[in-house]
Amino acid sequence: MVAGNGERSSIPARTRSRLLPLHVRLHWHQLHESKDSRAAHEGVQWKRKTVHRALWVQNLPVTGIPVNVFGEYAFGKVFIEINTELATFPLSALANSSQFLTELSLYGNRLRGIDSNW
């Protein structure tokens, strides 16, 4: 797997296959080619708590993001953008990021509202 800086990733092939449909890059994650929010959720089932610099969820055909989709992961910046079918987003999906989150972008989605139960 190629990291964001062009280097090969040290993630073993067996682990990479468990992460599909995710495409993991160094210092950030981007959900990629997911068919729906359930498929995205199934792809993100990490076990241990880890804090990452940023998360990108962009240009995917998802209608909603499940509350526990990011598991124990936490992010400093989150960009949920240009998902033209995304109608709902619970802020509680980012509960583990509450201590670390410095930037949140919800640009270009079809949100009808935001569930603010943090």
> Among 2-16, 19-33, 36-50, 73-87, whose mean pLDDT is lowest?
19-33
Top-confidence residue, 28 or 88: 88
In the predicted model, is pLDDT for residue 54 greater than 70?
yes
> What number is the average pLDDT over the span 15-42?
42
Per-residue pLDDT band at 8 (split at 50, 70, 90):
very low
In the predicted model, is pLDDT for residue 94 greater than 70?
yes
Backbone angles phi, psi at 48, to 5 degrees: -90, 155
- Written as six digits, the tokens of 78 are 């989150």
Q: Cβ distance 12 to 20 under 8 Å?
A: no
CB atoms within 10 A of CB 50: 12
Note if the bond before 12 is cis, omega within 30 degrees.
no
Q: Residue ranges per domain, the chain? A: 13-115
pTM score over 0.75: no
